[in-house]
Amino acid sequence: MTFVPVWGGIIACYLFLAGLGGGAFITASLVKRMHPEATGVVRVGRVIAPIVVIVGLCLLMVDARGGLYNPLRFVFLLTNPGSVMTWGVVILAVFVLAALIVLLMDLIGKNEAPAWLVWVGNVFGILTAAYTGVLLGVVNTFPLWNNALLPVLFIVSALSTGMAAVMLGGLITCPEQVKGMVDLTKVHLVLPAIEIVLFFFLLFIVAHVSTAGAASVAAMVSGGYALAFWVGIMAVGLVIPLVIEIRALRSGDNRGLAIAGDVGVLIGGYLVRYIIIVAALPVVLL
């Protein structure tokens, strides 16, 4: 039988945006701590965070047609506490709420958002990113998903894409503020490096789990998804942005290159979700 993936581009986009939102909020908090003068960049992060997660949730509802036709059914989403998707709904709701209140207080500008609320946002930002990995991780049909490394990879990728989105927004709206952010650049540089290592571990281990695991990995590294994997994820999404960041640290900022690197991280981040969703093959039954 030819296996047709259950989910596709829409859900990949949802997972990508949820992670990106969490990452963007945390990036804003990091910038505020490391470079308090870069207020414009903080603002960018806080604007991006709730918006992309809300867009992602809308995509989810479009994909879930049973609910789209009968919206009241979404109320039932809270009824199975054993389901990771139920946790996800709670996590995303708390995150969006916290991120929106922080953004509103930021925009009104009368009072700083209280530290505890920002921390709620930070913690639920990480949880949002982790949830997207655990959602797939508990599904034992697919060896490529059913492992503990996937949520970790998704968290790192979420931080990386969130940071790239904030830097990109910063480079467009307030480039002079981004210039001096050497410390954040270092963090931004480490993430793709960790991701490459995690990817290697994930693929190497999954390839040894079962025939279905080996077939999924083969589809990624040498099969139908090889081009997207090597060019899209590895080159455009990880190695090239890494090289650009190293160059920026050594010989100073170049706005064009930095924008290219951040766009690359975003493209790669989406493809990570997409390929992992569609390349996963089910366990062999017969």
Binding site for another protein (CB under 8 A): 1, 3, 6-7, 60, 63-70, 73-74, 76-77, 79-80, 82-86, 89, 135-136, 138-142, 282-283, 285-286
Q: Among residues 241, 239, 234, which one has the least CA distance to residue 203?
A: 234
Closest approach of another protein to the CB of residue 41, in Å: 36
Closest approach of another protein to the CB of residue 1, in Å: 6
Rank residues 139 and 174 by Cβ distance to another protein and give the closer one: 139
Rank residues 76 and 201 by Cβ distance to another protein and give the closer one: 76
Q: Cα separation of 113 and 118, whole Å?
A: 7
Rank residues 5 and 175 by Cβ distance to another protein and give the closer one: 5
In a 3-state reduction of DSSP, which class is residue 8?
coil
Phi-psi region of 106 (alpha: psi -120 to 50; beta: other; left: phi over 0): alpha
Closest approach of another protein to the CB of residue 91, in Å: 12
Closest approach of another protein to the CB of residue 220, in Å: 18
Closest approach of another protein to the CB of residue 63, in Å: 7
Tell me if 272 sits within 8 A of 237, measured CB to CB. Answer: yes
Q: Among residues 93, 52, 94, 55, which one has the least CA distance to residue 74?
A: 93
In a 3-state reduction of DSSP, which class is residue 286?
coil
Matching residue, tokens 């899209």: 232
Rank residues 69 and 116 by Cβ distance to another protein and give the closer one: 69
Rank residues 156 and 212 by Cβ distance to another protein and give the closer one: 212
Handedness of CA 167, 240, 245, 176 (dihedral sign): negative
Matching residue, tokens 């996800």: 88
